[in-house]
Every structure is written in structure tokens, then in C-alpha cells.
Amino acid sequence: MQAYSYTLNHSAEHVFSQAVKELYGDLVKPAVAHITETGFASDAKWSFNLSEEKLPEIEAKMAEIVSKALPIVKKEISCEDAEKLFKDNPYKLEWIKQFNEQQKTLTVYWTGDQYVDLCKGPHVSNTSEIKAFKLLSLSGVYWRGDSSNEQLTRVYGVAFSSQSELDKYLQLLEESKRRDHRKLGKELNLFVFSELVGSGLPLFTPKGAFLRSRLSEFSEELQRKAGFEQVWIPHLTKVDLYKVSGHWDKFGSELFLVSSQETSDQLVLKPMNCPHHAQIYASQIRSYKDLPIRYYETTTVYRDEKAGELSGLSRVRSITQDDAHIFCRMDQIESEFRNIMTMIKTLYNCLGLSFSARLSFRDQKRPEKYHGDDEIWCNAQGIIERVAQSLGLDYFISEGEAAFYGPKIDIMITDSLGRKWQCATQQLDFVQPKRFGLKYIDSDGTEKTPVMIHKALLGSIERFLSVYIEHTAGVLPSWLCYHQVAVIPISEEKHIEYANEVNVKLKENGIRTVLFDQAETVSNKIRKAQTEKYPYMIVLGDKEKESGTISLRLRTGEQIAGLSISQFIQKVKEIEQSKSHKIW
């Protein structure tokens, strides 16, 4: 990944807004800026239909502003003066009113004496420090992300401190477009969406269902070996369950509500599984000797995500989790975390993924966002960091990323393009066991409250697939491929009989094959198999038929002639058994 500067991108957004103001005046009303980990975005109300053809014109004006080396200066301002300054902009007036109600100090930034905007900063000292920038795309969004508000236009851009960095970023962007899981999912026939089913509700084809099943099976296999027991819970629950757990207060607006024709109970589609698993634990009297108790379940949860935030498999409304919950004593926490990390390392090593650990702690400036007192949180965060240190994890601390009930170790995958994604997680929870009144009888006969650990190896399987498909560019390891082998006869007349024999023998040995018996040239068949990313292509002609061997072509282009069928079967089975991300 290229070096990224928040300050530089923030400043570039101001230059963009100034350029728009100079070009189009009151025809555009700036609403809000977003500075992300990958660039900047600006939401505004345009009185005409902005098209991407206009972006070069705006870039030219931005370059003109940059060349003037205009100073960017911060000033505090009263709400009254701010209202006068932005009297013609309803979006800025709404922000000013909100800041006034919250008794926050208002600041503005002037670019020279020509442009001013509400902003907390920071910014570069003058516009000439913005060496390279690019406007990338635009989209429609709702004001403040609320679909009941009016629609605005968002323009995306990025800035770097040198042209070479920008060029490298644009190359990376092109490669990421080539690897886009939505594009590859369609090309490889893995999943589809239907307007009749609804947004954010993916439908998996046989190929896609096989892929997600194999990943789930591997996760479950690792969990069973690590002492986890499978449970099952329904997809519906009374609202009361989440009111006790605390999820209703935090996430009530994200839940799908369900009405019953038989009872007056308010039901919801479950958005998470931990409260249900807690009820299984609570169904019996537990002893300290019973702990740890480990439950796992691969199941789907449902969250009413905003339509504008849905994106392929990355953000969906039906989320399948390889979820698990551990109920243990305080003295068992570290060993349980070690157990989880062993599974995570095994899984990601097999998939050829490297990762670091994010210690997700609470935002100390906003304690009201979290349940539990200071002592509990300090204790929990101390345990988390000690565990990370004792395990020798490559970790960093991120305040404000904790769950409302406790700190986490989030596993951050680094993909082949250098991008980081959060997938696996292990979360410490002192809050829910207390809220549900969970107990165990300790060795001294007293009742104690267990600790709860939330764990997922893949996390959201849909989201993991979006990351993994892009990481591999759809070139999956053999054990995850719906079809492993394309059997290709050179001549449909002369070699089809031998090709059938080879195909049958492979199938009998559990190898997933397709016989390419169409009346096409060999080169076309190979090209088709490569496009569909088959790991292996077996090409059969006169020489192979006479010797009873096969000619193997790997999708990497490597070719191996004179291989016996039994040798090939043994090798593929070894790879399948080891779950290697290599194919030979």
C-alpha cells in the first residue's frame, strides 16, 4: 500500500470544494466531507446532474488553486457568526445547530481569503503541499446516511505527496477492480443477487455453496478438535432476550422486527447468537469442574443494514458466522485465547493469509458507549494485552473499536494488494454473564460468575469470501474448487473413450472433474478451463492413450508429461488432505 496522509487528503477535499465553488457558485451546496483510510469524499447538493466527464474540469481548477500556495488557516468562530457566514447553506446550518446544542467550539478553515468551511482540521499549512491528487468517481448518497433525507452526490478522490505515489495507487486501484469479488463472483458463477429476494441477500450457486461449505467444514473441524461442542438455536427470538443482554439499547434500530399472528410477543430475526448460547449455559447448574464449556455453531444472523451501505458480499443483511462462545473461569482465559489462536493460525496458514492483531479497546473519552464499570474494563483490557504479549502476536492497540460488552483481539488480514481486513475475532465479555445472571459453583461452594469469550475464525463467511476471492483473484486452492480437473481429449473421435475412462477413474477416487467433450479445438478448451480457473487440465492424445498415462497442465502454465493416473490421484489427495493453498 502507498503512504497515506489523513491531513493531506483532508486538505485536498477543501481544495476540491473551493474549486467547485469557483466553478459553479451557488449551483452546488457542500454538505459534509469524509476522510477515509483510502482518500477523501465530498457530499453536496448539485442543482444539475454531475457526470464523471466534469471531473477533469474540476481537477484543472484544483491544480490552479494548488499552484497559488494559498495559506490554510484555522479560526475559532461563534455560532452566531457561523450562521451568518453559511446562511445560504442548510446543511452547514444544521451542523452549526447541532454543535451549538452540544456546546462544542466551532472552528473554520480559510484557504487564503477566498474560501472558508466548517472544519475541525487538521490541514497542511498551504495548498502547494498537495503535490498529487485525482478525482476517482461519484455516487448517490443520502444526507447523513438516512434514506428518508434528500439525495446528495458524493465525489471520491485521493491525494499523495508525490506523483509517483499517486501513479502506484492508481495501478493498485486498477488491479483491485480486476479482482473485485462482485465481478469475479459473476464470472466464476459463485453467487447472484435478485431484486425479488432483496438487497443484501446473496444467493449462492452450487459452486459458491461448495466453497462456503468447505470453509465452514474446516472451521468446524478445527473447533471440534479444540474441544468445542455443536449447538443449534432458532432464527427467531423475543425482543426480551436482547433487552436483557443490552443489544436492544445499542442495536435496536438494526433489527428486523417480526410479528406473530398467535401471540402478542414482539419477535426479531436474531442479529447475533451470544444471548441464545448464554441461555443454553443457564439451563443447568454448573460446577467449576465443568468449565470451560465451549459451544460452536455455524449459523446466519440478520441485520437491517442501510441500503446505501450494502456492497456485494462485503456488507450484507444475512450474515453467516462460524460463531462460538466459551464460558470459563478467570484463570482459564489465557489458555482459551491460546487455543483460539492455534486454530486461527492453522486456518490462515492453510489459506496462505498473513495477519496481525488489533487489540480493540474502548474509547476512554466516551465511556457511556460501553456497559460495565471502569475496573472491569481496565482488568479486561489488561488481560487482553498480556495474552497478546505472551502469544508473541504482532499487535497494535486501537481505542474505540471494542464491543460494548468488552475488548477484543481482532485478526487483521493483509491481502495480496496490501489492504487490511478484519475477519477472525476473539472477544472478552464480563458484561453479558452478569446481565443474564450466569453462575457456576466454585471449589469453595460459593457462586461465581463465569467469563464469556466470543470467537469466530472466519467471522462473517460472506465478508471473508469477499476478501479471499479478491486476495486470490479467484484462483482458489484445489481443495476449495468445485471442479478440480478438466479432462480434455485432443480429438472427440479418437480420444473420447480414453478420456471417459480417465474421467470415471478420477471420480471414483473422489476427484471433482469435468469432461470437456465439446467439438472445439484443444486450445479453446484449455482457454475455457483457464478462464474458469481449474487447477488441473489433463490433455489426452495418441501418446497418452497408448501408454495409459496423462499429460498434466497446471493453471500456472507448468506442464508434466507421462504421469500415471494413480500418481496424479495420490498427489491431489495429499493436497486435499493437507488443505494446502498450493496445487502441486
Element (H, E) at 203: strand 203-204
Instruction: Map residue 556 onto helix, strand or coil.
Output: coil
Which is more confidently placed, 253 or 426? 426
Q: What is the pLDDT of residue 521?
A: 92
Q: What is the pLDDT of residue 437?
A: 97
For 427-441, write each residue's pLDDT tens digit. Answer: 999 889 999 999 999
Q: What is the pLDDT of residue 3?
A: 57
Residue 1 predicted with pLDDT over 70: no
Q: Which three cell numbers stand for residue 364?
A: 476512554
Residue 52 predicted with pLDDT over 50: yes
Element (H, E) at 83: helix 79-85
How far apart, in Å, are the Cα atoms of 376 and each of 1, 172, 339, 434? Answer: 38, 44, 23, 12
Residue for grid cell 491525494: 159
What angle do helix axes 55-67 and 6-24 make, rounded to 10 degrees?
Answer: 110
Q: Choose among 160, 158, 156: nearest CA to 44.
A: 156
What would the 3-class secondary structure string for 384-428 be?
A: HHHHHHHCCCCEEEEECCCECCECEEEEEEECCCCCEEEEEEEEE
Residue for grid cell 501408454: 547
Q: What is the pLDDT of residue 19?
A: 96
Torsion (CA) 454, 456, 461, 466 in degrees, nearest 10: 110
For 438-488, write each residue's pLDDT tens digit. Answer: 999 999 999 999 999 999 999 999 999 999 999 999 999 999 999 999 999
For 15-27, write each residue's pLDDT tens digit. Answer: 999 999 999 999 9
d(CA 17, CA 84): 19
For 137-152, write each residue's pLDDT tens digit. Answer: 999 999 988 878 999 9
The string of DSSP codes covering 307-343 is: GGG-BTTTB-SEEEEEEEEEEE-GGGHHHHHHHHHHH
Which is more confidently placed, 218 or 265? 218
Which is more confidently placed, 374 or 49? 49
Q: Which three cell numbers stand for residue 299?
A: 449459523
Residue 239 predicted with pLDDT over 80: yes
Residue 158 predicted with pLDDT over 70: yes
- Beta-bridge partner residues of 554: 536
The string of DSSP codes covering 92-128 is: HHHHHHHHHHTTPPEEEEEETTTEEEE------SBGG
| Mean model confidence pLDDT for the chain | 93
pTM: 0.87
**CATH assignment, 478-578:** 3.40.50.800
Residue 519 predicted with pLDDT over 70: yes
Q: What is the pLDDT of residue 375?
A: 84
Domain positions in the chain are 6-170, 187-232+277-472, 478-578
Element (H, E) at 435: helix 431-435
Q: Annotated binding residue at 274? A: yes
Q: What is the mean pLDDT of residues 386-402?
A: 90
Taken as a whole, the chain contains a residue count of 584
Question: What type of residue sits at position 563?
Answer: L
- Beta-bridge partner residues of 230: 296
Residue 4 predicted with pLDDT over 80: no
For 327-373, write each residue's pLDDT tens digit. Answer: 999 999 989 999 999 999 999 999 999 999 999 999 988 888 888 77
| CATH of the domain spanning 6-170, picked from 3.40.1260.10, 3.30.980.10, 2.102.10.10, 3.40.50.1820 | 3.30.980.10
d(CA 208, CA 192): 10
Instruction: Map residue 514 onto helix, strand or coil.
Output: strand
Q: Annotated binding residue at 325? A: yes
143 contact partners, CB below 8 Å, separation of at least 6 = 31, 43, 91, 149, 150, 151, 152
d(CA 133, CA 19): 13
Residue 406 predicted with pLDDT over 90: no
* Inter-residue contact 454 to 426 (CB < 8 Å): yes
Residue 263 predicted with pLDDT over 60: yes
Q: What is the pLDDT of residue 370?
A: 85
Q: Which three cell numbers stand for residue 534?
A: 481449474
Integer distance in angstroms from the first to the last C-alpha of the chain? 30
Q: What is the pLDDT of residue 286?
A: 97
494 contact partners, CB below 8 Å, separation of at least 6 = 542, 545
373 contact partners, CB below 8 Å, separation of at least 6 = none
Which is more confidently placed, 42 or 262? 42
Q: Which among 97-101, 326-330, 381-385 has the top mean pLDDT?
A: 326-330
Residue 541 predicted with pLDDT over 80: yes
Active site (catalytic) residues: 274, 303, 321, 323, 325, 408, 454
Q: Which CATH superfamily is domain 187-232+277-472 in?
A: Bira Bifunctional Protein; Domain 2 (3.30.930.10)
Residue spans of beta strands (DSSP E) within 461-535: 485-489, 513-515
Q: Annotated binding residue at 34? A: no
